[in-house]
Structure 1
Amino acid sequence: MARPQRHKVSDLPPAPPVAGKTTPLLPEASLFPVDTMADPAVLEASLRETLQDYRERSEVDPFGDPILMLALDLTRRLDKNEITPSAVEQLVQRLTTTAFLDKAKRIGTYVGETDPDRNAAGIRSLIRALAQPDAELPPVPFERFRASIERWHYGVVFTAHPTFSTNLELSRVLAQLGAGRDLTGASLSQDARAKLVAEAATGEHRPPSALTLNAEHDWSMEALSNAQSALEKVHGLVLEIAQEIYPNEWRALNPQLISLATWVGYDHDGRADITWADTLRLRLKVKLTQLRRHRRTVATLIKDIGSAPAGAVLELIDSLLALAAKQTEEQIAVARDAAGNLPEAQRFARALVGGQESGLTDAARLVQLATRALDATEDGVIAQRLVGLRASLAGHGLGLGHSHFRLNSTQLHNAIRKQVGLETGADDPTYRRSYLNAINDLIAGAEPVTVNLGSLMAEQTSAKRMFMMIAELAKHIDAETPIRFLIAETESAFTLLVALYYARLFGLEDRLEISPLFETISALERGDQIIEEALRSPHYRAYVKKTGKLCVQFGFSDSGRYLGQTAATFWIERLRMRLASVLARHGLDHIQVVLFNTHGESIGRGGHPVSMADRLRYLAPPVSRSEFVLHDIQVKEESSFQGGDGYVYFLQPDLAFACLARVLESVLAPEREAADDPIYANPDYTTEFFAAIKQYFSDLVEDPNYATLLGVYGTNMLYKTGSRPVKRQHDLGRPADLSHPSQLRAIPNNGVLQQMGLLANTVGGLGRATSKEPEQFCALRATSPRFARAMQMVEFAASVSDLDVLRAYIDTLDPGMWLNRAGRTKLPARREELKAVAAHLERLDLHARLSKVFRHLQADYLALRESLRLCAESSGKPLVGVGEEQRAVLILLHSIRVALIHRILLLGTHIPDFSPQHGLTFEELFARIVHLDIEPVVEALEEIFPDRHDGDPAGLDFGEPATYKGGSAQTYEQEHEQLFRPMKSWFEILRRIGTAITYEIGAVG
């Protein structure tokens, strides 16, 4: 094929004039010369009207895509200078602000009641019902009430998933607008609300450019602090009711109810960038923040108590806290450079060892002193506050939250491989029994060893390093709070026994809560068998009995990626119910089972779209909870709040309190849905329905064309939303096509589908499933709370999906479309540009593969849409989803972005000729542009074509003049001004659109 012709920069249309005095709607740093005469509201109305015209035409012209037609219309208007780049930038800012405010409104309605007084009243009613279920009868015995209050019913876990789609300042604005209150708790006045809206209108809607692990950790600490304050408020309400009903016994209480935990900085699954020193330093920061919180509480109590005997005890507590805080500050300071510097590591180790006494490693003494102060006071209000302080010390000790460590099962297997002769997969039926016998023998003979930071630094295997980290943490930072040890991709009982062996070896058996993460298809189908096989080991069984806990984690993200989100929820629920039977069979009804759901805020990761109450019941279906009650097994539910999307619910105090109120309602209020839900009376239909989805999605995942769809633009339409490092390859080469969805992690996988306009991971396969027995489907949607809740996920996903949008992104890569445009344009320069783009796309040959998978998705989606329409009509129950106005904003954003992609491709045809540099050819570079990998492309172009020659010797004084101008004097300022910078600027706006789409959908991925 002939090389496509490239064009001179002089062929580009001139930059539009700028005039006028009005105030533009832009963030502080505009990308194009500001057009102060632009009116984004007028432009939006014009484009909406044009889009509506194209929509109406498409009813009689099925071959015309209204999204693509609007994109072409916008391109023509830019070419003719009817609108300026600045006008487009201002319109995107306007639409982004609209989407931001839509999200803020949704947060408020999603959480439900946010008035703190009303939520407090609701919690009082819940606690009163525990003490006195029947108002006509006496209260239950104190010990029974105490047993309910002093156990964890729910756990809130803050994770570091890459969902930081905006910055912390705008996240706080979201939280305040959602709660209707400012950060102090005052109701928002009209002026205060207007000020917040103005911040959103001029804010830069993107993640921090330096989104580091430290930034994420600070963000999580703010959320955790608000959660702790909300929890202390809950404890105060508990004590208020207890004091009223049990006036002689209430002081003995240590309320728990809800635990708070974090894995930010401790999640080493797939992250080589987090060092052992990072993890210990961040855990010390969690400790320091809690010590300071306790000091503030104690200082207020001392002020209110004065010089009474209780005040003297509190002063002793304060002195211990002050000394511990000072020691912890010093430890944090010397930890920063410890990972790669042996002398600094030794210094850090000495600081840890030397601070073991003064730094406090447990809260036992503080709890005793709080009790002494309590015994010394008669004042009921002060006594309540002292009991609250003691409860906080007893429940979360020396940390703002409990610690969750995570690694992958493969890392564990690699660590033990030589000792057990592991030469195949751990679950290989030929060797499985031998491997289990070998690891059981190792556990039986394990004698605890001691380690120090030198041992940790010398260790080569990541799994053993993690156990050593935890051992050092347990010795020197927090010696009493249990630590969760999460194992991703667990598919074998062998994995759990390896974890137990290392726990025993490093003296952590009593402290570590070993938890498999069931997320793969195999694990979800066999998770109960894995647990049962582990329990056949006398060592594992004894470990569970001794700790009194069995912890299991379910991954909604990865399971949804491979099974489809709707099928995943069915398999997870089925596994939960089977686990109840396993524990009962093994006589373990005296333990507590911890069920941790690592879902997200997005529908693609188990974040139910209707309300927080629905989200909690979607994750932990009432019938599955009742299965444990039936077997007399205590359950602690846990769920994650992931990254920026999850933390937002805890960035305003009353919003955080409202979230905890919804949590308590879900676990303490009587659950009526557990009885007579018709979905459980028809197991054959249910099994076949979800099996059809699973089969469809399994086939889709294995289709290489689906991988191509995920990889063609990939995550380049979004900003980087997490701190995980991205390898930047200077020698670009041709982009490698994605060959399987497993090459993308779950959140990027889902994020790509959102940005392409069809949420296949949630709606995929539903057309096939709903068409099988449509009457039964509609009947269950109308009568089954569990089934309806699952279908609401699908309905919402359908409301933010659009086949025309996906088709427009795919047809942008159709060489035929570009040639058709070339045949119709009257502009010779534009004709050559269009032909050049077509030639490049022909070489890449993407369109045929994408069209094939599009037709596959299209057929199923059309069937689903028809099924949902019939159900809504027959039942009178409207479909769940975004409103027409939000949908219009979404469609317009997609249309503008398609136009920007076209703009970038056309600019790419003007890149000057160059000989291959750094192994990079022009064809490879243009392929990168097609894949929207723009930043490294522009970096390479700026290096190949420098805009000036700094330090050119020809310009220096050599004692005589020279009139010769050699090649070294040639610069490429024109290319930078008219080609490279505009390309980079259009790409920046393209990613801003990605943030706006995320706002309207509700969350990343």
Structure 2
Amino acid sequence: MSDTSPLSWTQLTRVASGRAIIDPAASYENKLVDLLYKQLLSVLRTRQPDIEAFIEGHRDIREGTDSQILYLLEAHGIWFQLLSIAEQNANVQQRRQIEKEYGRRRVPGTFAHTFSMASRHDIPAEEIQKVLNKSFFCPVITAHPTEAKRVTVLEIHRRIYILLKQLELTRWTPRERDELIHELRNEIDLLWLTGEIRLEKPTVAQEITWGLHFFTESLFDSAMKFYAELDRALRKVYPHIEFEVPPVFRFGSWIGGDRDGNPNVDTEVTAYALRENARASLKRYRQDLRDLGSKLSIASHSLRVPEHFLNALEQKLEMLGETESFSKRNPGEVFRQYLSCMLRNIDATLKNIDEPRKSSIAYHSAADLAFDLQTLERGLTDARCEHLSRSNVVPLRHMVDTFGFRTASLDLRENTTVTNAVLAEIWQALHQKTHFDVPDFKSDKWEEWVVSELMQPLRVIPNIDFLSNRAQATLAMLEQVKHYQRKLDSKAFGVFVLSMTQTSTDVLGVYLLAKYVGLFTDVDGLEACRILVVPLLETIEALEQGPSILSELLGHGFVRRTIRRNGDSQEVMVGYSDSNKDGGFLTSNWIISQAQTLIKKAGEKHKIPVSFFHGRGGSVSRGGAPSGRAIAAQPAGTIDARMRVTEQGEVVSYKYANHGFAEEQMEILAASALAHTLMSGKDPAFRINAELDEVMQALSGTAYVTYRKFIEIPGLVEFYQQASPVEELTLMKIGSRPARRFGAATLEDLRAIPWVFAWTQNRIMVPGWYGVGSSLEQLVSIRGELGKELLQELYNTHSLFRLILDSVEKTLLLVDMEVAEKFSELVVNTQYREAIFSDIKSEYERTTQMILQVTKEDHLCDRFPNFKRHFSRRLKSLNQVGIEQAELVKKFRDEQHNAEDRQNVLVPLLLSINCVAAGIGSTG
């Protein structure tokens, strides 16, 4: 009898990496890689034949002329892009192979797996339905400057991906197959001819277009398949239960609403983002309604149309005044007539986006459109056409429930420094004082004033014209919320994310600003706010203070009422990037885990549900990890069917550019979060082990001290700036956001993204591993054999520790000390250079040794053959490009070169940065 028990994520990794399934996946991937290499080589022979010897490995890049180096860098960058497309395609195929071999119920990250586990643990259907009803899973697409690909390039990538999928089919004749391969070569040729480097920084409007590209190309379609798979899995595992499938999945966006450090985002840009978001969803509904109208050619005389549907149609026709014209256009086809009415409503709604006057026939909300679809659905079902309803109307209704008239809910984000400064201006005006008299923002006096203003009925604030431009812009941003919630969609806005939250008063201050602009539900500004303020805890100190911040916040009645009005859950955002930059990789992950547990308990004391918004980036250093495993490593009870997570830059392209992969990623997120919700109270793996948590605390403490000692070494800032292309990164045109907050150039004010990006380019990768080796070594040094045994127990049973070690090990494989040393030679101060680079090498060797000791491997990433194979394909090229980049940085910084010489160096330098980013798989 075959085993039908679900596979774990670790077991799936072993299966997927070739220990259980070897030839099908590896050989298929190799065939794709070989095919793409031949086509690229064919293009290069035509376009740039003198670099073939370099590409084939017969000559070293350092032997090339300036012109050859330029084209070589472009060729390597394109090759890395093609490799990623091939590997993604093979990943989908590999997952299919595993499903064929073991069955879908045994594959983690699928609904079938999650509900199968639930059934095995005797979880009743009623509990499943209860969890589904409160579920809210939401990726939030951000415009962080980590994406170096233009939309034009993404479109070429998508066409290449589709061609590879077509070539999977065995039905083609040799002639047809040759035609597809020829088309593939043409796309690669187009990729070569398309400029890789942006000539200008993208505007926020262009970033909005970039974000919406993924919805129009894949996510609208993927959402329908997502719900179909959810419904299918429920029916399969619980065949005798009729489940109601609610809208469990939504999307959010920061593009056009994120003002933190980006002066290019203003009220006009935000309004544009909201309109474009609404337009994208409505255009898609219009197209789907047209397609549905073409398909539903049902003659009324061929079946019995239910009376309630005919009545609904009559009301629609009368409202539109189109009874005669629609009846003539589609005589005897009542379902088409109904769809024609809906199209008129949609067209009017689209027109209302830009016109101040509302058309009387426009839909007032997405709920009205959903109601019409339910009417159509019920009409078809009662006419004994349930199959047509289920396959055609239900998916569209799920799409409307998911995307509304907004596509994605737009979060607003601003920094505490700004919101407190705006409040300070208002305080000065009210008290007729100077800025020297403003109380300290962390003082009791400041808190007392903020609270007293919130507790009394709204009074008129001084004339806004007397406030600074920044203050006026901040208040105008909040004023937009009420307008667009009414005009477009009640969920057009998501939440207000407050960056660098340090105290509960910081959050209350934003509510006070909202009160001043009339954003409360009552005229006195005492009842509830129309938008929820979410504290973003992104430093080690803020995360440790998180429970008390939340507890103080929930002590206010209007905050509790605001929570109930806005989803009935207080969201708290935890930041992986800045906490890593602040305290190192291990400490950041541990503190975030601990903070979630304690924050959740603080909410329980006030009987307020708490959910978490995970601010993850693409790289390990910024919280990047496989979604399923990252979710499985969350503390017990902290997900509770609600989770938001940022999807930034290159992660968005990787996950959501193509249909099959996008659907898979959506299912992994939702199914894994559901599994955590259903199982974390029942699975022994989630039980708190005080002894192991004490070991984790000790490891975190040592890692923190080691990391802080490193970043506080005299000359570290100088070493970092000179031994990496961090200054040159500011010349990259990959985002509308400046690289530094408020124009500062200190390490504290440098954004986490360039901090990680620069360490990635020089192949040192400090944020992804530094301090871990010392923490492991010290534990063994102090506790001896017991320490080794505890590390083994942690490794085998503690999902967070295992995830941390796996991530560190993969990062260590990406480190290259030869490239790193080449960059270190750019540091002018010999003393700093030798001391700091020696320290880096020692900790790297220590961390590598300790990781291998715990995992019992001979070499790094023996446990991850897929990852190792993918990286090995890139290694030689990456190292050559890295060494060449160090030389280009040196030339670019040479003060003896004139402006023209520096400009000639700049293009290949920027190409090398793009190339390394593509080869490593992330920018920051």
State the TM-score, normalized to the length of structure 2. Answer: 0.77
Q: Which one of the candidate residues 535, 542, 567 is aligned to 2:561? A: 542
Tell me the amino acid that sits aligned with residue 536 of structure 2.
Answer: L
1:46-445 → structure 2 map (5 Å cutoff) = 46-47=59-60, 74=62, 83-108=64-89, 126=111, 134=119, 140-141=125-126, 146-174=129-157, 181=164, 191=181, 194-200=185-191, 204-207=195-198, 209-225=200-216, 226-239=218-231, 253=244, 255-306=246-297, 307-328=332-353, 331=354, 351-352=355-356, 354-355=357-358, 360-378=363-381, 379-384=385-390, 385-417=392-424, 428=442, 431-432=443-444, 434-445=445-456
Q: Which one of the candidate residues 850, 862, 865 is aligned to 1:878? A: 862
CA distance in 2, matches of 1:186, 1:455: 68
Question: CA, structure 1 residues 186+662, in 2 after alignment: closer, same or farther (shift >3 Å)?
Answer: farther
Alignment root-mean-square deviation, CA = 4.2
Tell me the amino acid that sits aligned with residue 93 of structure 1.
Answer: E
Contact 1:25–1:201, Cα closer than 8 Å, also in 2: no
What secondary structure is seen at the aligned counterpart in 2 of 1:507? Answer: coil
Unpaired runs of 5+ in structure 2? 1-38, 298-331, 429-434, 521-527, 781-787
In the alignment, does 2:910 pair up with 1:987?
no
Q: Which one of the candidate residues 546, 550, 565 is aligned to 2:585? A: 565
In the alignment, does 2:685 pair up with 1:676?
yes
Tell me the amino acid that sits aligned with residue 501 of structure 1.
Answer: L
Tell me the amino acid that sits aligned with residue 1003 of structure 1.
Answer: S
Please give the per-residue CA displacement for 1:263-289, whole angstroms capped at 9, x wherever unaligned.
111111111112211110121011011
The structure number with the bigger radius of gyration is 1
CA distance in 1, matches of 2:801, 2:576: 17
Q: Which one of the candidate residues 522, 526, 536 is aligned to 2:545? A: 526
Deviation at 1:764, TM superposition (A): 1.3
Q: Which residue of 2 aligns with 1:773?
A: 779
In the alignment, does 2:629 pair up with 1:614?
yes
CA distance in 1, matches of 2:129, 2:386: 19
What secondary structure is seen at the aligned counterpart in 2 of 1:743? Answer: coil
Please give the per-residue CA displacement for 1:477-508, whole angstroms capped at 9, x wherever unaligned.
32355621111001110122122233444235
What secondary structure is seen at the aligned counterpart in 2 of 1:656? Answer: helix
Please give the per-residue CA displacement for 1:201-249, whole angstroms capped at 9, x wherever unaligned.
5654435645222222111101123223211222234455678999999
Q: Which one of the candidate residues 443, 459, 473 is aligned to 2:484? A: 473
CA distance in 2, matches of 1:543, 1:441: 18
Deviation at 1:413, TM superposition (A): 1.1
CA distance in 1, matches of 2:284, 2:591: 42
Contact 2:620–2:807, Cα closer than 8 Å, also in 1: yes
Q: Which residue of 2 aligns with 1:484?
A: 495
State the TM-score, normalized to the length of structure 1. Answer: 0.71
Please give the per-residue CA displacement for 1:370-416, whole angstroms capped at 9, x wherever unaligned.
23223322311333233333343344321111121111112221222
Q: Which residue of 2 aligns with 1:598?
A: 615
Contact 1:780–1:788, Cα closer than 8 Å, also in 2: yes
Q: Which residue of 1 aligns with 2:507?
A: 496
What secondary structure is seen at the aligned counterpart in 2 of 1:552? Answer: strand
1:889-928 → structure 2 map (5 Å cutoff) = 889-901=877-889, 925-926=895-896
Q: Which residue of 1 aligns with 2:712?
A: 702
CA distance in 2, matches of 1:247, 1:874: 45
Tell me the amino acid that sits aligned with residue 693 of structure 1.
Answer: A
CA distance in 1, matches of 2:413, 2:212: 19
What secondary structure is seen at the aligned counterpart in 2 of 1:607? Answer: coil
CA distance in 2, matches of 1:137, 1:861: 48
Contact 1:490–1:518, Cα closer than 8 Å, also in 2: yes
Deviation at 1:155, TM superposition (A): 0.8
CA distance in 2, matches of 1:466, 1:717: 30
What secondary structure is seen at the aligned counterpart in 2 of 1:398? Answer: coil
CA distance in 2, matches of 1:320, 1:782: 58
Please give the per-residue CA displacement for 1:439-489, whole angstroms capped at 9, x wherever unaligned.
222222244999999999988434312211222222323235562111100
Q: Which one of the candidate residues 694, 702, 711 is aligned to 1:692? A: 702
Question: CA, structure 1 residues 408+812, in 2 after alignment: closer, same or farther (shift >3 Å)?
Answer: closer
What secondary structure is seen at the aligned counterpart in 2 of 1:154? Answer: strand
Contact 2:274–2:492, Cα closer than 8 Å, also in 1: no
Contact 1:706–1:853, Cα closer than 8 Å, also in 2: yes
Q: Which residue of 1 aligns with 2:319?
A: none
Q: Which residue of 2 aligns with 1:650?
A: 656
Contact 1:116–1:657, Cα closer than 8 Å, also in 2: no
Question: CA, structure 1 residues 411+393, in 2 after alignment: closer, same or farther (shift >3 Å)?
Answer: same
Tell me the amino acid that sits aligned with residue 288 of structure 1.
Answer: R
Tell me the amino acid that sits aligned with residue 850 of structure 2.
Answer: S
Question: CA, structure 1 residues 849+301, in 2 after alignment: closer, same or farther (shift >3 Å)?
Answer: same
Question: CA, structure 1 residues 784+660, in 2 after alignment: closer, same or farther (shift >3 Å)?
Answer: same
Question: CA, structure 1 residues 862+247, in 2 after alignment: closer, same or farther (shift >3 Å)?
Answer: closer
Question: CA, structure 1 residues 807+501, in 2 after alignment: closer, same or farther (shift >3 Å)?
Answer: same
Deviation at 1:112, TM superposition (A): 8.0
In the alignment, does 2:605 pair up with 1:585?
yes
Question: CA, structure 1 residues 151+375, in 2 after alignment: closer, same or farther (shift >3 Å)?
Answer: same
Deviation at 1:44, TM superposition (A): 3.2
Deviation at 1:137, TM superposition (A): 8.9
What secondary structure is seen at the aligned counterpart in 2 of 1:512? Answer: coil
Q: Which residue of 2 aligns with 1:723?
A: 735
Contact 2:281–2:405, Cα closer than 8 Å, also in 1: yes
Contact 1:707–1:739, Cα closer than 8 Å, also in 2: no
Q: Select between 375-384 and 568-577 the one with higher mean Cα deviation.
A: 375-384
CA distance in 2, matches of 1:213, 1:116: 41
Deviation at 1:639, TM superposition (A): 1.1
Contact 1:166–1:208, Cα closer than 8 Å, also in 2: no
Unpaired runs of 5+ in structure 1? 1-22, 48-70, 78-82, 332-350, 729-736, 814-844, 909-924, 930-936, 943-979
Contact 1:40–1:87, Cα closer than 8 Å, also in 2: no
Deviation at 1:546, TM superposition (A): 4.2
Q: Which one of the candidate residues 615, 640, 644 is aligned to 1:638? A: 644
Contact 1:287–1:399, Cα closer than 8 Å, also in 2: yes
CA distance in 2, matches of 1:783, 1:244: 32
In the alignment, does 2:544 pair up with 1:552?
no
Contact 2:704–2:771, Cα closer than 8 Å, also in 1: yes
CA distance in 1, matches of 2:843, 2:717: 18
Contact 2:202–2:736, Cα closer than 8 Å, also in 1: no
Please give the per-residue CA displacement for 1:277-329, whole angstroms capped at 9, x wherever unaligned.
1110121011011111111222222223345444433322211110111232x
Tell me the amino acid that sits aligned with residue 839 of structure 2.
Answer: H
What secondary structure is seen at the aligned counterpart in 2 of 1:267? Answer: coil
Contact 1:165–1:719, Cα closer than 8 Å, also in 2: no
Q: Which one of the candidate residues 882, 885, 888 is aligned to 2:876? A: 888
Deviation at 1:671, TM superposition (A): 4.8
Question: CA, structure 1 residues 686+473, in 2 after alignment: closer, same or farther (shift >3 Å)?
Answer: same
CA distance in 2, matches of 1:292, 1:706: 53
Tell me the amino acid that sits aligned with residue 600 of structure 1.
Answer: G
